[in-house]
Amino acid sequence: MEMVYEWFRTLYQETGINLPFLYDEYDRNRMIDGLFTTVKLSLVCLFFSIIIGVIGAWLQGSSFKWTRRFVSGYIQLFRNTPPLVQLYFFYFAIGTLLPRVENDWGGQSPIFGSFAWAAISLSFFAGAFNVEIFRSGIEAVPKSTVEAAEALGFSKLQIYRDITLPLAFRVVLPALNNNLVNLVKTTTLAYAIAVPEMLYEANQIWSDNVNVTEMMVFLLLAYFVLVGILVSGMNRWERAMKIPGYG
C-alpha cells in the first residue's frame, strides 16, 4: 500500500497533479472520514425518509379531516422550501431555541449537533416527496382490490400493510429511486452547517493544498460511483420484487 501512496507523491512532483488525500496520511484519513460520514448520513436519511413516506401516505388516506390537513401542510412546507434554507433554519433557528445540555468540556451545547440536524432536516425534506410518491402508488391500486379485502374482513391497517402497500411499492419504485438518488446528492448541502462529509473534507483539502481542479474531478467521480452503487442496488431490488403479470 505504501508503494501506491508513494507513487502518487511522485506523480505530484513529476506532473503537478496533486492528490494529497492519497499520499498524505492526515488528508487521507479525513477524506475516508468524509466518505463514511456521507454514507452514514445518506443511509440514515434514506431510512427515515422512506419511513416518513410510508406513514405519511397512510395518514393521508385517514378518515379524519385534520390528519389529512396536517400531512398536506407538512408536504407543502418541506417541498416548497429549499433544502439549504431548511438546514440553516433547523441548525441556527430551531437549534438555538432548544434547551441545552452540559457537555464534557464544561460548556453548554445544544442537544442536537450538526450531523443530527442534517439527518433530521434532509429526512423531512425527502420524506415530503416520498409521501407524494407513495400516494401515487396507493392510488394506482385498483379500488376493487381494496373492496375485496374489505369484504374478506381485513381491518384498515391490515389492508394498508398487507395489500395496498406491497402492490403500491412495486409501482412507486422508479419514482422512489429518483428521489433517493436526489437525496444522496443533497447530503452535500450539509457542508453548509459543517457536517464533515465528502464535499466539506474536499474543501478543507483544496484550501490547504490549492488543488481545486483535482479535488473537483475526484468529487465528481466519487459521487458518480456512490450514486451508481445505490442505483444498481435499487434496480436489483426492483427486479427481485417483480410480480409476473403485474405492473
Partner 1 sequence: MKIKTLAATLVVSALSISAATADILDTIKERGTLIVGTKADYKPYGFLDTSGAVIGIEPDLAKDVADKLGVDIEFVPVVSSNRMQFLEQGKIDLMIATMTDKPDRREVVLIPDPNYYSSGTNVLALKSLGLKEWEDLRGKPVCGIQGAFYNKATSQTYGAEIVAFKGTAEAYSALKGGNCAAFVYDDSAIVAKAADPDWADYEMPLQTIDDAPWGLAVALGEEKFGQMMSEMIIEWHKTGRILELETKWGVTNTPFAQAMHDKYK
Contact set with partner 1 (CB under 8 A): 26, 92, 95-96, 100, 103, 105-110, 113-114, 192-194, 200, 203-204, 206-210, 212
CA 189 to chain centre: 11
Are 34 and 197 in contact, with CB atoms under 8 Å apart? yes
Alpha-carbon gap, residue 133 to 44, rounded angstroms: 19
Of 29 and 235, nearer to partner 1 (C-beta) is 29
Alpha-carbon gap, residue 96 to 11, rounded angstroms: 47
CB of 224 to partner 1, least distance (A): 23
CB of 208 to partner 1, least distance (A): 5
Of 109 and 155, nearer to partner 1 (C-beta) is 109
CB of 104 to partner 1, least distance (A): 8
CB of 27 to partner 1, least distance (A): 9
Of 160 and 206, nearer to partner 1 (C-beta) is 206
b (16+ CB within 10 A) / e for 172-205: bbebbbebbeebbebbbbbbbbebbbbbbbbebb
Of 77 and 216, nearer to partner 1 (C-beta) is 216
Q: C-alpha distances in angstroms, 7 versus 31, 211, 217?
A: 18, 18, 19
Of 148 and 216, nearer to partner 1 (C-beta) is 216
CB of 88 to partner 1, least distance (A): 8
CB of 80 to partner 1, least distance (A): 24
Of 95 and 137, nearer to partner 1 (C-beta) is 95
Alpha-carbon gap, residue 206 to 218, rounded angstroms: 11
Residues 6+ apart with CB under 8 A from 140: 167, 168, 171
